[in-house]
């Protein structure tokens, strides 16, 4: 795996990867705000075809838009990120899908005690199927089914962390896997 926009620091603690973000890092393209940001941190590997990516992570969420999770990316104009984003004083499950250089954002509040979450994203033809679970014994819950152009085959897939309003957001990734699709079942 290689870094797109390496973070301020990384180190291993046992099998966990601890990431500390650089200053004012994010991914966003135009919609609503008008700005373009493409300087967030992603530890990625290349994948083609259908797949499932999964990670579990814990973050020290403090500032507006502190975020971590998974990212699937073709280029600055075609990507999807999902995970926890801190907004309105709470952790939210957040998904941003970007096609043709325009981002959209969906988010819903998580229980106030949430700091750790499992995230799964599957590429299935013309869609990203996004799921989450709050603990390892819970079933996977659907968060989003988002369109992605099926003719884009070569993608980078990995873990991401950003801090648009500061530097020094710390995230501990407890693992990452990239496999063939685990399922096409939504229900």
pLDDT at 142 (0 to 100): 96
What is the set of domains in the chain, with CATH numbers?
2-179 (2.60.120.200)
pLDDT at 183: 86
> DSSP 3-state assignment of 23?
coil
What pLDDT digit, counting tens, does each position of 82-98 carry? 999 999 999 999 999 99
pLDDT score at 117: 97
Cα diameter, the chain: 42
Q: What is the pTM of this model?
A: 0.95
Q: What is the mean pLDDT of residues 159-182?
A: 98
- Distance (Å) of CA 101 to CA 78, 96, 104: 7, 12, 10
pLDDT tens digit sequence for 121-142: 999 999 999 999 999 999 999 9
Q: By percentage, how much of the chain surpasses pLDDT 90? A: 93
The overall average pLDDT reported for the chain is 96
What is the CB-side half-sphere exposure of residue 150 using CA atoms within 13 A? 4
């Amino acid at each position: 795996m290689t870094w797109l926009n390496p973070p301020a620091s990384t180190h291993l603690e046992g099998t966990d990867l601890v990431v500390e973000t650089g200053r004012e890092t994010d991914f966003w393209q135009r919609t609503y705000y008008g700005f373009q940001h493409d300087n967030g941190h992603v530890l990625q590997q290349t994948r083609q075809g259908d797949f499932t990516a999964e990670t579990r992570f814990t973050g020290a969420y403090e500032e507006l838009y502190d975020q971590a999770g998974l990212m699937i990316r073709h280029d600055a104009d075609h990507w999807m990120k999902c995970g926890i984003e801190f907004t309105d004083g709470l952790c939210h499950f957040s998904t941003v899908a970007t096609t043709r250089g325009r981002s959209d954002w969906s988010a819903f509040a998580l229980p106030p005690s949430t700091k750790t979450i499992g995230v799964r994203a599957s590429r299935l033809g013309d869609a990203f199927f996004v799921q989450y679970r709050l603990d390892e014994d819970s079933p996977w819950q659907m968060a989003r089914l988002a369109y992605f152009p099926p003719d884009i085959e070569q993608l980078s897939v990995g873990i991401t962390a950003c801090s648009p309003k500061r530097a020094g957001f710390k995230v501990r990734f407890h693992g990452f896997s990239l496999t063939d699709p685990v399922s096409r079942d939504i229900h």
